[in-house]
Structure 1
Amino acid sequence: MTTTTTAPASDASLGDHLFAAVQRCLPTRALSALMYRIAEIDSPGFKNGFIKAFMRGYPIDLSEAERETVEEYRHFNDFFTRALKRGARPMPSDPNLLASPVDGRISQLGAIRDGRIFQAKGHDYTAAELLADAELAKAFDGGSFATIYLAPHNYHRVHIPFGGKLRSWTYVPGRLFSVNPATARAMPRLFSRNERMVAIFDTAFGPMAVVMVGALFVGGVETVWGGRLTPPHSRAATPFHHQPDATVALARGDEMGRFHMGSTVVLLAPRGALDWQANLAAGDTLRLGQPLAQVLQHAVA
Protein backbone atom coordinates (compact mmCIF):
# COMPACT_ATOMS: atom_id res chain seq x y z
CA MET A 1 0.00 0.00 0.00
CA THR A 2 1.25 3.51 -0.85
CA THR A 3 0.91 5.98 2.04
CA THR A 4 2.97 8.79 0.59
CA THR A 5 3.55 12.14 2.27
CA THR A 6 4.50 15.48 0.81
CA ALA A 7 8.02 15.54 -0.64
CA PRO A 8 10.19 18.69 -0.57
CA ALA A 9 10.61 19.07 -4.33
CA SER A 10 8.60 18.33 -7.44
CA ASP A 11 9.84 15.80 -9.99
CA ALA A 12 8.03 17.57 -12.86
CA SER A 13 10.08 17.84 -16.05
CA LEU A 14 10.60 21.01 -18.08
CA GLY A 15 8.03 19.65 -20.52
CA ASP A 16 5.54 19.20 -17.67
CA HIS A 17 6.03 22.81 -16.56
CA LEU A 18 5.67 24.12 -20.11
CA PHE A 19 2.48 22.11 -20.61
CA ALA A 20 1.03 23.53 -17.37
CA ALA A 21 2.10 27.08 -18.32
CA VAL A 22 0.35 26.84 -21.71
CA GLN A 23 -2.85 25.69 -20.03
CA ARG A 24 -2.89 28.72 -17.74
CA CYS A 25 -3.19 30.89 -20.85
CA LEU A 26 -5.98 28.91 -22.49
CA PRO A 27 -9.73 29.71 -22.31
CA THR A 28 -10.31 26.27 -20.77
CA ARG A 29 -14.05 26.71 -20.08
CA ALA A 30 -14.75 27.87 -23.63
CA LEU A 31 -12.70 25.04 -25.14
CA SER A 32 -14.46 22.46 -22.98
CA ALA A 33 -17.90 23.82 -23.90
CA LEU A 34 -16.91 23.75 -27.58
CA MET A 35 -15.80 20.13 -27.28
CA TYR A 36 -19.17 19.25 -25.76
CA ARG A 37 -21.02 20.79 -28.69
CA ILE A 38 -18.81 19.01 -31.24
CA ALA A 39 -19.28 15.70 -29.43
CA GLU A 40 -23.08 16.14 -29.65
CA ILE A 41 -23.15 16.45 -33.46
CA ASP A 42 -25.38 13.62 -34.68
CA SER A 43 -24.63 13.70 -38.40
CA PRO A 44 -23.94 10.01 -39.20
CA GLY A 45 -20.92 10.70 -41.38
CA PHE A 46 -19.32 13.04 -38.85
CA LYS A 47 -20.01 11.07 -35.69
CA ASN A 48 -19.05 7.70 -37.21
CA GLY A 49 -15.80 9.16 -38.53
CA PHE A 50 -15.07 10.85 -35.19
CA ILE A 51 -15.65 7.64 -33.22
CA LYS A 52 -13.60 5.49 -35.61
CA ALA A 53 -10.69 7.95 -35.54
CA PHE A 54 -10.82 7.96 -31.73
CA MET A 55 -10.82 4.16 -31.62
CA ARG A 56 -7.75 4.04 -33.87
CA GLY A 57 -5.89 6.12 -31.30
CA TYR A 58 -7.03 4.35 -28.13
CA PRO A 59 -7.45 0.69 -27.05
CA ILE A 60 -11.25 0.46 -26.79
CA ASP A 61 -13.06 -2.89 -26.69
CA LEU A 62 -16.68 -2.42 -27.76
CA SER A 63 -17.40 -6.12 -27.26
CA GLU A 64 -17.97 -5.41 -23.55
CA ALA A 65 -20.41 -2.54 -24.28
CA GLU A 66 -24.18 -2.91 -24.59
CA ARG A 67 -23.93 -1.58 -28.16
CA GLU A 68 -21.02 -3.12 -30.03
CA THR A 69 -21.01 -1.16 -33.30
CA VAL A 70 -20.15 2.48 -33.99
CA GLU A 71 -23.31 3.01 -36.00
CA GLU A 72 -25.53 2.33 -32.96
CA TYR A 73 -24.39 5.50 -31.16
CA ARG A 74 -26.24 8.78 -31.71
CA HIS A 75 -23.12 10.93 -31.43
CA PHE A 76 -19.64 10.89 -29.92
CA ASN A 77 -20.88 11.71 -26.41
CA ASP A 78 -23.28 8.78 -26.58
CA PHE A 79 -20.34 6.56 -27.47
CA PHE A 80 -18.05 8.08 -24.86
CA THR A 81 -20.54 7.52 -22.01
CA ARG A 82 -21.49 4.05 -23.29
CA ALA A 83 -22.96 1.51 -20.89
CA LEU A 84 -21.32 -1.87 -20.31
CA LYS A 85 -23.06 -5.21 -20.60
CA ARG A 86 -24.67 -6.47 -17.44
CA GLY A 87 -22.10 -8.42 -15.42
CA ALA A 88 -19.08 -6.92 -17.20
CA ARG A 89 -17.82 -5.39 -13.93
CA PRO A 90 -19.05 -7.52 -10.98
CA MET A 91 -18.82 -6.20 -7.44
CA PRO A 92 -16.82 -8.16 -4.81
CA SER A 93 -18.66 -10.98 -3.07
CA ASP A 94 -17.46 -9.68 0.31
CA PRO A 95 -19.85 -6.88 1.42
CA ASN A 96 -17.11 -5.38 3.62
CA LEU A 97 -14.96 -4.32 0.65
CA LEU A 98 -14.85 -0.84 -0.84
CA ALA A 99 -14.88 -1.24 -4.63
CA SER A 100 -13.25 0.89 -7.30
CA PRO A 101 -15.87 3.36 -8.60
CA VAL A 102 -14.38 3.48 -12.11
CA ASP A 103 -12.04 1.99 -14.66
CA GLY A 104 -8.85 4.02 -14.37
CA ARG A 105 -5.43 4.26 -12.80
CA ILE A 106 -4.42 5.12 -9.25
CA SER A 107 -2.77 8.53 -9.11
CA GLN A 108 -2.22 8.38 -5.35
CA LEU A 109 -3.77 6.80 -2.28
CA GLY A 110 -3.04 6.80 1.42
CA ALA A 111 -3.70 8.85 4.54
CA ILE A 112 -4.98 12.39 4.94
CA ARG A 113 -2.33 13.95 7.15
CA ASP A 114 -2.95 17.23 8.98
CA GLY A 115 -5.91 17.80 6.68
CA ARG A 116 -3.74 17.54 3.56
CA ILE A 117 -4.02 15.23 0.54
CA PHE A 118 -0.95 14.18 -1.44
CA GLN A 119 -1.12 15.05 -5.15
CA ALA A 120 2.38 14.38 -6.52
CA LYS A 121 5.95 14.82 -5.34
CA GLY A 122 6.20 18.37 -4.06
CA HIS A 123 2.46 19.07 -4.24
CA ASP A 124 -0.50 18.62 -1.93
CA TYR A 125 -3.75 20.41 -1.14
CA THR A 126 -6.20 20.49 1.73
CA ALA A 127 -9.38 18.49 2.11
CA ALA A 128 -11.09 21.79 2.98
CA GLU A 129 -10.09 23.22 -0.42
CA LEU A 130 -11.22 20.11 -2.27
CA LEU A 131 -14.61 19.94 -0.54
CA ALA A 132 -15.07 23.74 -0.45
CA ASP A 133 -16.17 23.29 3.17
CA ALA A 134 -13.73 23.58 6.08
CA GLU A 135 -16.20 22.22 8.63
CA LEU A 136 -17.05 19.17 6.53
CA ALA A 137 -13.35 18.48 5.94
CA LYS A 138 -12.83 17.92 9.68
CA ALA A 139 -14.74 14.63 9.36
CA PHE A 140 -11.97 13.29 7.12
CA ASP A 141 -8.92 14.52 9.05
CA GLY A 142 -6.64 11.55 9.65
CA GLY A 143 -8.72 9.48 7.26
CA SER A 144 -8.03 7.94 3.87
CA PHE A 145 -8.04 9.15 0.27
CA ALA A 146 -7.71 7.68 -3.20
CA THR A 147 -7.27 9.63 -6.42
CA ILE A 148 -8.13 7.75 -9.62
CA TYR A 149 -7.42 9.08 -13.11
CA LEU A 150 -9.67 8.18 -16.03
CA ALA A 151 -7.84 8.21 -19.37
CA PRO A 152 -9.74 8.98 -22.60
CA HIS A 153 -10.09 5.28 -23.47
CA ASN A 154 -11.63 4.28 -20.13
CA TYR A 155 -15.29 3.55 -19.38
CA HIS A 156 -16.59 6.92 -18.15
CA ARG A 157 -19.47 6.17 -15.86
CA VAL A 158 -18.84 6.57 -12.12
CA HIS A 159 -20.37 4.09 -9.66
CA ILE A 160 -20.66 4.33 -5.91
CA PRO A 161 -17.86 2.33 -4.22
CA PHE A 162 -19.90 1.49 -1.11
CA GLY A 163 -23.61 1.70 -0.41
CA GLY A 164 -24.91 4.90 1.12
CA LYS A 165 -27.51 7.68 1.17
CA LEU A 166 -26.77 11.02 -0.44
CA ARG A 167 -26.55 13.70 2.26
CA SER A 168 -25.60 16.66 0.09
CA TRP A 169 -23.82 17.64 -3.06
CA THR A 170 -21.94 20.73 -4.13
CA TYR A 171 -20.97 22.19 -7.49
CA VAL A 172 -17.66 24.01 -7.12
CA PRO A 173 -16.81 26.31 -10.06
CA GLY A 174 -13.17 26.41 -11.09
CA ARG A 175 -10.66 26.11 -13.87
CA LEU A 176 -10.54 23.20 -16.30
CA PHE A 177 -6.89 22.22 -16.44
CA SER A 178 -5.88 18.79 -17.71
CA VAL A 179 -5.69 16.20 -14.94
CA ASN A 180 -3.20 13.92 -16.66
CA PRO A 181 -0.03 12.87 -14.77
CA ALA A 182 2.13 15.59 -16.38
CA THR A 183 -0.16 18.35 -15.14
CA ALA A 184 -0.48 16.73 -11.70
CA ARG A 185 3.32 16.78 -11.38
CA ALA A 186 3.59 20.45 -12.33
CA MET A 187 0.39 22.23 -11.27
CA PRO A 188 0.05 23.06 -7.55
CA ARG A 189 -3.33 22.22 -5.97
CA LEU A 190 -4.65 20.91 -9.29
CA PHE A 191 -7.70 19.01 -8.03
CA SER A 192 -8.80 21.77 -5.68
CA ARG A 193 -8.51 24.40 -8.46
CA ASN A 194 -10.54 22.59 -11.10
CA GLU A 195 -14.32 22.62 -11.42
CA ARG A 196 -15.82 19.68 -9.52
CA MET A 197 -18.88 18.00 -8.05
CA VAL A 198 -18.61 16.96 -4.40
CA ALA A 199 -21.08 14.31 -3.22
CA ILE A 200 -21.29 13.33 0.45
CA PHE A 201 -22.86 9.98 1.29
CA ASP A 202 -23.77 8.63 4.72
CA THR A 203 -22.57 5.03 4.94
CA ALA A 204 -22.21 2.33 7.55
CA PHE A 205 -18.63 3.52 8.22
CA GLY A 206 -19.50 7.23 8.37
CA PRO A 207 -19.39 9.96 5.73
CA MET A 208 -17.86 9.20 2.34
CA ALA A 209 -16.94 11.88 -0.19
CA VAL A 210 -16.95 11.10 -3.91
CA VAL A 211 -15.53 14.03 -5.86
CA MET A 212 -15.86 14.14 -9.65
CA VAL A 213 -13.19 16.56 -10.89
CA GLY A 214 -13.67 18.29 -14.23
CA ALA A 215 -10.80 18.81 -16.66
CA LEU A 216 -9.76 20.32 -19.97
CA PHE A 217 -12.11 19.08 -22.72
CA VAL A 218 -14.40 17.47 -20.15
CA GLY A 219 -17.40 18.91 -21.93
CA GLY A 220 -19.95 17.78 -19.35
CA VAL A 221 -20.51 16.16 -15.97
CA GLU A 222 -23.82 14.68 -14.88
CA THR A 223 -25.29 12.81 -11.91
CA VAL A 224 -28.13 10.32 -11.64
CA TRP A 225 -29.99 12.55 -9.15
CA GLY A 226 -29.57 15.93 -10.84
CA GLY A 227 -28.93 15.26 -14.52
CA ARG A 228 -26.49 17.44 -16.43
CA LEU A 229 -24.37 19.65 -14.17
CA THR A 230 -22.11 21.16 -16.84
CA PRO A 231 -22.02 22.81 -19.31
CA PRO A 232 -22.43 25.69 -18.82
CA HIS A 233 -19.23 26.12 -16.81
CA SER A 234 -19.84 28.73 -14.13
CA ARG A 235 -17.37 31.52 -13.34
CA ALA A 236 -18.97 32.16 -9.93
CA ALA A 237 -16.62 32.75 -7.01
CA THR A 238 -18.57 30.63 -4.53
CA PRO A 239 -19.74 27.01 -4.59
CA PHE A 240 -23.37 25.97 -4.99
CA HIS A 241 -24.51 23.71 -2.14
CA HIS A 242 -27.52 21.43 -2.59
CA GLN A 243 -29.64 19.09 -0.50
CA PRO A 244 -31.37 16.25 -2.39
CA ASP A 245 -35.04 16.89 -3.08
CA ALA A 246 -35.83 13.24 -2.36
CA THR A 247 -34.00 10.33 -0.77
CA VAL A 248 -31.16 9.08 -2.97
CA ALA A 249 -29.99 5.70 -1.68
CA LEU A 250 -27.47 3.81 -3.80
CA ALA A 251 -26.18 0.27 -3.37
CA ARG A 252 -22.53 -0.50 -3.99
CA GLY A 253 -21.94 -0.56 -7.74
CA ASP A 254 -24.94 1.62 -8.69
CA GLU A 255 -24.18 4.34 -11.22
CA MET A 256 -23.93 7.81 -9.66
CA GLY A 257 -22.73 9.93 -12.58
CA ARG A 258 -20.63 10.17 -15.73
CA PHE A 259 -17.96 12.26 -17.43
CA HIS A 260 -18.11 13.49 -21.01
CA MET A 261 -14.38 12.99 -21.71
CA GLY A 262 -11.69 11.92 -19.24
CA SER A 263 -11.13 13.17 -15.73
CA THR A 264 -10.48 12.16 -12.11
CA VAL A 265 -12.38 10.84 -9.08
CA VAL A 266 -11.20 11.51 -5.52
CA LEU A 267 -12.55 9.38 -2.65
CA LEU A 268 -12.36 10.39 1.03
CA ALA A 269 -13.20 8.30 4.11
CA PRO A 270 -12.92 9.05 7.86
CA ARG A 271 -10.17 7.99 10.24
CA GLY A 272 -10.19 4.26 10.98
CA ALA A 273 -12.77 3.40 8.31
CA LEU A 274 -10.60 1.75 5.64
CA ASP A 275 -7.59 -0.50 5.28
CA TRP A 276 -6.26 -0.26 1.70
CA GLN A 277 -5.51 -3.50 -0.11
CA ALA A 278 -1.82 -4.23 0.45
CA ASN A 279 -1.02 -4.75 -3.23
CA LEU A 280 -2.23 -1.33 -4.39
CA ALA A 281 0.16 1.46 -5.35
CA ALA A 282 0.27 4.66 -7.40
CA GLY A 283 0.28 3.84 -11.09
CA ASP A 284 -1.76 0.65 -10.78
CA THR A 285 -4.56 0.10 -13.28
CA LEU A 286 -8.05 -0.43 -11.82
CA ARG A 287 -11.31 -1.85 -13.11
CA LEU A 288 -14.72 -0.88 -11.82
CA GLY A 289 -15.61 -3.20 -8.92
CA GLN A 290 -12.03 -4.16 -8.09
CA PRO A 291 -11.51 -4.28 -4.30
CA LEU A 292 -9.77 -1.15 -2.99
CA ALA A 293 -10.01 -1.45 0.78
CA GLN A 294 -11.36 -3.46 3.65
CA VAL A 295 -14.08 -1.56 5.46
CA LEU A 296 -13.26 -1.68 9.18
CA GLN A 297 -16.45 -0.10 10.52
CA HIS A 298 -19.31 -1.78 8.74
CA ALA A 299 -22.42 -3.30 10.27
CA VAL A 300 -23.75 -5.63 7.57
CA ALA A 301 -27.47 -5.01 7.05
Structure 2
Amino acid sequence: MFTSERLFALGQYVLPQHRLSRLMGSITRCRNTVFKDAMIRSFIKLYGVDMEQALDPDPAAYGCFNEFFTRALKPETRPIAPAPDAVICPADGTVSRIGAITEGRIIQAKGKNFSVTDLLGGHAQNAKLFANGRFATIYLSPRDYHRLHMPLSGTLREMTHVPGKLFSVNAATTANVSNLFARNERVITLFDTEAGPMALVLVGAIFVASIETVWHGIVTPPTGATLRTWHYPENPPVLSRGQEMGRFNMGSTVIVLFGDNVVEWEESLTADSIVCMGQSLGRLTRQTAQSSDRLQRRG
Protein backbone atom coordinates (compact mmCIF):
# COMPACT_ATOMS: atom_id res chain seq x y z
CA MET A 1 0.00 0.00 0.00
CA PHE A 2 1.37 3.41 -0.97
CA THR A 3 0.74 5.90 1.83
CA SER A 4 1.34 9.64 1.40
CA GLU A 5 4.60 9.30 3.35
CA ARG A 6 5.73 6.45 1.12
CA LEU A 7 4.92 8.45 -2.02
CA PHE A 8 6.77 11.47 -0.59
CA ALA A 9 9.88 9.36 -0.04
CA LEU A 10 9.70 7.64 -3.44
CA GLY A 11 9.32 10.97 -5.22
CA GLN A 12 12.73 12.06 -3.94
CA TYR A 13 14.52 9.36 -5.94
CA VAL A 14 13.83 11.21 -9.18
CA LEU A 15 14.50 14.74 -7.94
CA PRO A 16 17.74 16.54 -9.00
CA GLN A 17 18.73 16.70 -5.33
CA HIS A 18 22.09 18.46 -5.64
CA ARG A 19 20.85 20.91 -8.26
CA LEU A 20 17.90 21.91 -6.08
CA SER A 21 20.20 22.32 -3.09
CA ARG A 22 22.56 24.58 -5.05
CA LEU A 23 19.57 26.64 -6.14
CA MET A 24 18.42 26.93 -2.53
CA GLY A 25 21.93 28.00 -1.59
CA SER A 26 21.78 30.86 -4.08
CA ILE A 27 18.33 31.94 -2.92
CA THR A 28 19.23 31.95 0.78
CA ARG A 29 22.33 34.07 0.11
CA CYS A 30 20.52 36.71 -1.95
CA ARG A 31 21.22 40.15 -0.48
CA ASN A 32 18.41 42.03 -2.16
CA THR A 33 16.89 43.87 0.80
CA VAL A 34 13.25 43.59 -0.23
CA PHE A 35 13.54 39.90 -1.13
CA LYS A 36 15.54 38.73 1.88
CA ASP A 37 13.46 40.73 4.38
CA ALA A 38 10.22 39.29 2.98
CA MET A 39 11.67 35.79 3.05
CA ILE A 40 12.88 36.13 6.65
CA ARG A 41 9.62 37.61 7.95
CA SER A 42 7.53 34.97 6.15
CA PHE A 43 9.68 32.21 7.66
CA ILE A 44 9.38 33.67 11.18
CA LYS A 45 5.59 33.79 10.84
CA LEU A 46 5.30 30.33 9.26
CA TYR A 47 7.42 28.53 11.86
CA GLY A 48 6.76 30.69 14.90
CA VAL A 49 10.43 31.57 15.42
CA ASP A 50 11.09 33.29 18.76
CA MET A 51 13.38 36.16 17.78
CA GLU A 52 13.71 37.27 21.41
CA GLN A 53 16.16 34.38 21.82
CA ALA A 54 18.35 35.65 18.99
CA LEU A 55 21.49 37.61 19.78
CA ASP A 56 20.17 40.16 17.28
CA PRO A 57 16.36 40.07 17.41
CA ASP A 58 15.88 42.47 14.47
CA PRO A 59 14.97 40.43 11.33
CA ALA A 60 16.15 43.26 9.07
CA ALA A 61 19.65 43.20 10.59
CA TYR A 62 20.61 40.01 8.73
CA GLY A 63 22.35 40.46 5.38
CA CYS A 64 20.65 37.43 3.83
CA PHE A 65 18.32 34.60 4.76
CA ASN A 66 21.19 32.22 5.52
CA GLU A 67 22.65 34.64 8.08
CA PHE A 68 19.25 34.68 9.79
CA PHE A 69 18.88 30.90 9.54
CA THR A 70 22.25 30.30 11.24
CA ARG A 71 21.75 33.15 13.72
CA ALA A 72 23.50 33.15 17.07
CA LEU A 73 21.39 32.97 20.23
CA LYS A 74 21.75 34.81 23.51
CA PRO A 75 23.95 32.63 25.73
CA GLU A 76 21.41 32.61 28.56
CA THR A 77 18.80 30.95 26.31
CA ARG A 78 20.93 27.79 26.03
CA PRO A 79 22.63 27.21 29.39
CA ILE A 80 25.17 24.39 29.47
CA ALA A 81 24.34 21.55 31.87
CA PRO A 82 26.49 22.29 34.95
CA ALA A 83 27.26 18.72 36.06
CA PRO A 84 30.92 17.96 35.22
CA ASP A 85 30.00 14.46 34.01
CA ALA A 86 27.18 15.65 31.73
CA VAL A 87 27.35 14.92 28.01
CA ILE A 88 25.53 17.86 26.48
CA CYS A 89 23.14 17.83 23.57
CA PRO A 90 24.93 19.25 20.51
CA ALA A 91 21.87 20.80 18.87
CA ASP A 92 18.29 21.93 19.16
CA GLY A 93 15.91 19.46 17.60
CA THR A 94 14.04 16.20 18.03
CA VAL A 95 15.56 12.88 19.02
CA SER A 96 15.04 10.60 16.07
CA ARG A 97 16.54 7.58 17.82
CA ILE A 98 18.84 7.07 20.81
CA GLY A 99 20.32 3.92 22.28
CA ALA A 100 22.94 1.22 21.91
CA ILE A 101 24.93 0.19 18.86
CA THR A 102 24.15 -3.49 18.41
CA GLU A 103 26.29 -5.79 16.27
CA GLY A 104 27.73 -2.76 14.54
CA ARG A 105 24.34 -1.37 13.55
CA ILE A 106 22.29 1.70 14.44
CA ILE A 107 18.50 1.94 14.50
CA GLN A 108 17.16 4.37 11.88
CA ALA A 109 13.43 3.78 12.25
CA LYS A 110 11.06 0.94 13.04
CA GLY A 111 12.28 -2.06 11.04
CA LYS A 112 15.25 -0.18 9.60
CA ASN A 113 18.89 0.03 10.65
CA PHE A 114 22.26 0.71 9.07
CA SER A 115 25.89 -0.11 9.76
CA VAL A 116 28.34 2.13 11.58
CA THR A 117 30.97 1.22 8.97
CA ASP A 118 28.77 2.53 6.17
CA LEU A 119 27.92 5.66 8.15
CA LEU A 120 31.63 6.35 8.62
CA GLY A 121 32.35 6.16 4.90
CA GLY A 122 33.42 2.51 4.87
CA HIS A 123 36.18 3.08 7.45
CA ALA A 124 36.08 -0.25 9.32
CA GLN A 125 38.87 0.68 11.75
CA ASN A 126 37.03 3.78 12.90
CA ALA A 127 33.81 1.79 13.19
CA LYS A 128 35.54 -0.59 15.64
CA LEU A 129 36.04 2.36 17.99
CA PHE A 130 32.27 2.41 18.52
CA ALA A 131 31.59 -1.34 18.75
CA ASN A 132 28.84 -1.95 21.34
CA GLY A 133 28.80 1.78 21.99
CA ARG A 134 26.06 4.39 22.12
CA PHE A 135 24.45 6.61 19.49
CA ALA A 136 22.04 9.53 19.42
CA THR A 137 20.41 10.86 16.24
CA ILE A 138 19.01 14.40 16.42
CA TYR A 139 16.87 15.91 13.68
CA LEU A 140 16.93 19.69 13.23
CA SER A 141 13.69 21.07 11.82
CA PRO A 142 13.59 24.36 9.89
CA ARG A 143 12.57 26.36 12.98
CA ASP A 144 15.44 25.08 15.14
CA TYR A 145 18.75 26.73 16.03
CA HIS A 146 21.23 25.46 13.43
CA ARG A 147 24.61 25.76 15.06
CA LEU A 148 26.20 22.60 16.44
CA HIS A 149 28.16 22.39 19.68
CA MET A 150 30.52 19.98 21.40
CA PRO A 151 28.97 17.35 23.73
CA LEU A 152 32.34 17.04 25.50
CA SER A 153 35.67 18.80 25.22
CA GLY A 154 37.70 17.17 22.47
CA THR A 155 40.75 17.24 20.25
CA LEU A 156 40.04 16.79 16.56
CA ARG A 157 41.68 13.69 15.10
CA GLU A 158 40.27 13.74 11.57
CA MET A 159 37.43 14.97 9.37
CA THR A 160 35.97 13.20 6.34
CA HIS A 161 33.58 14.44 3.69
CA VAL A 162 31.55 11.61 2.16
CA PRO A 163 29.68 12.52 -1.05
CA GLY A 164 26.24 11.03 -1.46
CA LYS A 165 22.54 11.57 -1.97
CA LEU A 166 20.50 14.39 -0.46
CA PHE A 167 17.25 12.76 0.64
CA SER A 168 15.15 14.64 3.16
CA VAL A 169 15.86 13.52 6.73
CA ASN A 170 12.41 14.11 8.18
CA ALA A 171 10.43 11.34 9.87
CA ALA A 172 8.53 10.35 6.73
CA THR A 173 11.73 9.76 4.77
CA THR A 174 13.68 8.01 7.54
CA ALA A 175 10.80 5.56 7.86
CA ASN A 176 10.79 4.76 4.14
CA VAL A 177 14.33 5.10 2.71
CA SER A 178 16.71 2.33 3.78
CA ASN A 179 20.23 3.23 4.94
CA LEU A 180 19.30 6.90 4.68
CA PHE A 181 22.04 8.34 6.88
CA ALA A 182 24.67 6.11 5.30
CA ARG A 183 23.56 7.19 1.80
CA ASN A 184 23.30 10.93 2.22
CA GLU A 185 26.23 13.28 1.86
CA ARG A 186 27.84 13.87 5.25
CA VAL A 187 30.79 15.31 7.14
CA ILE A 188 32.30 13.00 9.75
CA THR A 189 34.33 14.51 12.60
CA LEU A 190 36.31 12.27 14.95
CA PHE A 191 37.46 13.64 18.31
CA ASP A 192 39.51 12.31 21.21
CA THR A 193 37.74 13.10 24.50
CA GLU A 194 37.87 12.15 28.17
CA ALA A 195 35.35 9.42 27.24
CA GLY A 196 37.56 8.12 24.43
CA PRO A 197 36.69 8.52 20.73
CA MET A 198 33.61 10.59 19.89
CA ALA A 199 32.19 11.06 16.41
CA LEU A 200 29.85 13.81 15.30
CA VAL A 201 28.36 13.02 11.90
CA LEU A 202 26.76 15.99 10.16
CA VAL A 203 24.29 14.56 7.65
CA GLY A 204 23.29 16.61 4.62
CA ALA A 205 19.79 16.69 3.17
CA ILE A 206 17.86 18.17 0.29
CA PHE A 207 17.98 21.99 0.39
CA VAL A 208 20.91 21.89 2.84
CA ALA A 209 23.05 24.25 0.82
CA SER A 210 26.24 23.60 2.77
CA ILE A 211 27.86 22.19 5.90
CA GLU A 212 30.68 24.01 7.64
CA THR A 213 32.94 23.65 10.68
CA VAL A 214 34.60 26.34 12.76
CA TRP A 215 38.15 25.14 11.96
CA HIS A 216 37.70 24.55 8.22
CA GLY A 217 34.88 26.78 7.07
CA ILE A 218 32.57 25.45 4.36
CA VAL A 219 33.27 21.76 3.71
CA THR A 220 30.55 21.21 1.14
CA PRO A 221 29.90 22.39 -1.50
CA PRO A 222 31.84 21.83 -3.65
CA THR A 223 30.61 18.27 -3.93
CA GLY A 224 32.60 15.72 -5.86
CA ALA A 225 32.49 11.97 -6.32
CA THR A 226 35.57 11.35 -4.18
CA LEU A 227 35.73 10.88 -0.43
CA ARG A 228 38.06 13.42 1.19
CA THR A 229 39.78 13.11 4.58
CA TRP A 230 41.76 15.67 6.57
CA HIS A 231 44.11 14.57 9.37
CA TYR A 232 45.33 16.83 12.16
CA PRO A 233 48.58 15.34 13.56
CA GLU A 234 50.07 18.74 14.43
CA ASN A 235 48.34 21.60 16.23
CA PRO A 236 44.90 19.95 16.04
CA PRO A 237 41.83 22.05 16.84
CA VAL A 238 40.84 21.70 20.50
CA LEU A 239 37.24 22.57 21.36
CA SER A 240 35.69 22.81 24.80
CA ARG A 241 32.38 21.32 25.92
CA GLY A 242 29.55 23.51 24.65
CA GLN A 243 31.72 25.36 22.11
CA GLU A 244 30.37 25.77 18.59
CA MET A 245 31.89 23.24 16.19
CA GLY A 246 29.88 23.72 13.02
CA ARG A 247 26.59 24.59 11.43
CA PHE A 248 24.06 23.55 8.82
CA ASN A 249 23.20 26.15 6.20
CA MET A 250 19.59 24.92 6.17
CA GLY A 251 18.41 22.08 8.41
CA SER A 252 19.45 18.46 8.75
CA THR A 253 20.57 15.77 11.24
CA VAL A 254 23.54 15.16 13.53
CA ILE A 255 24.52 11.72 14.84
CA VAL A 256 26.66 11.37 17.97
CA LEU A 257 28.70 8.19 18.56
CA PHE A 258 30.55 7.00 21.68
CA GLY A 259 32.35 3.76 22.49
CA ASP A 260 31.37 0.91 24.77
CA ASN A 261 30.49 1.62 28.41
CA VAL A 262 31.62 5.26 28.51
CA VAL A 263 28.29 7.14 28.52
CA GLU A 264 24.76 6.46 29.69
CA TRP A 265 21.93 8.33 27.98
CA GLU A 266 19.29 10.10 30.03
CA GLU A 267 16.46 7.64 30.65
CA SER A 268 13.86 10.30 29.90
CA LEU A 269 15.04 10.65 26.29
CA THR A 270 13.28 8.52 23.71
CA ALA A 271 12.35 8.81 20.04
CA ASP A 272 10.50 12.11 19.45
CA SER A 273 11.86 13.80 22.58
CA ILE A 274 12.35 17.55 22.03
CA VAL A 275 15.85 18.67 23.02
CA CYS A 276 17.82 21.90 23.25
CA MET A 277 21.51 22.48 22.83
CA GLY A 278 23.24 22.51 26.20
CA GLN A 279 20.89 20.22 28.11
CA SER A 280 22.19 16.91 29.41
CA LEU A 281 21.97 14.21 26.77
CA GLY A 282 23.61 11.69 29.10
CA ARG A 283 26.29 11.17 31.71
CA LEU A 284 29.77 9.72 31.71
CA THR A 285 29.76 6.31 33.35
CA ARG A 286 31.25 6.22 36.85
CA GLN A 287 34.31 4.38 35.57
CA THR A 288 34.88 6.98 32.83
CA ALA A 289 34.39 9.90 35.22
CA GLN A 290 36.84 8.42 37.73
CA SER A 291 39.46 7.89 35.01
CA SER A 292 38.97 11.47 33.86
CA ASP A 293 39.42 12.77 37.42
CA ARG A 294 42.67 10.82 37.81
CA LEU A 295 44.01 12.22 34.55
CA GLN A 296 43.12 15.78 35.56
CA ARG A 297 44.86 15.38 38.93
CA ARG A 298 47.99 14.10 37.19
CA GLY A 299 47.87 17.08 34.83
C-alpha separation in 2, matches of 1:275 and 1:267: 13
Please state whether the residue corresponding to 2:67 is helix, strand or coil. Answer: helix
- TM-score by structure 2 length? 0.94
Which residue does 2:84 correspond to in 1? 95
Contact 1:33 1:233 in 2 (8 A): no
1:146 lines up with 2:107 in the alignment:
no
What RMSD over aligned residues (CA atoms) do the two structures have, in Å? Answer: 1.2
Which residue does 2:65 correspond to in 1? 76
2:10 aligned to which of 10, 15, 21: 21
Contact 1:214 1:221 in 2 (8 A): yes
C-alpha separation in 1, matches of 2:231 and 2:2: 43
1:130 lines up with 2:119 in the alignment:
yes
1:46 lines up with 2:35 in the alignment:
yes
C-alpha separation in 2, matches of 1:247 and 1:127: 25
Correspondences of 1:147-296 after superposition (within 5 Å) = 147-234=137-224, 236=225, 238-244=226-232, 246-296=235-285
C-alpha separation in 2, matches of 1:168 and 1:16: 37
C-alpha separation in 1, matches of 2:53 and 2:175: 33
**2:151 is matched by which residue type in structure 1?**
P
**1:128 is matched by which residue type in structure 2?**
T
**2:112 is matched by which residue type in structure 1?**
H
Contact 1:33 1:232 in 2 (8 A): no
Q: Which moved more, 1:13-22 or 1:158-167?
A: 13-22
**1:166 is matched by which residue type in structure 2?**
L
**2:148 is matched by which residue type in structure 1?**
V
C-alpha separation in 2, matches of 1:45 and 1:56: 17
C-alpha separation in 1, matches of 2:23 and 2:197: 36
C-alpha separation in 2, matches of 1:150 and 1:158: 10
List runs of 5+ in structure 1 lacking aligned partners: 1-11
C-alpha separation in 1, matches of 2:221 and 2:22: 6
Contact 1:145 1:266 in 2 (8 A): yes
C-alpha separation in 2, matches of 1:86 and 1:14: 43
Residues 237-274 of structure 1, C-alpha deviations (whole Å, 9 max, x = no match):
x4211113632111100000000111000000000011
**1:73 is matched by which residue type in structure 2?**
Y
Residues 72-94 of structure 1, C-alpha deviations (whole Å, 9 max, x = no match):
00000000000011222111111
Moved over 3 A (4+): none
Contact 1:106 1:286 in 2 (8 A): yes
Give percent identity, aligned residues only: 44
- TM-score by structure 1 length? 0.94
C-alpha separation in 2, matches of 1:150 and 1:13: 27
Task: Give, in angstroms, the shift of residue 233 of structure 1.
Answer: 2.5
Residues 214-250 of structure 1, C-alpha deviations (whole Å, 9 max, x = no match):
001001110001001122232x1x4211113632111
Task: Give, in angstroms, the shift of residue 14 of structure 1.
Answer: 1.6
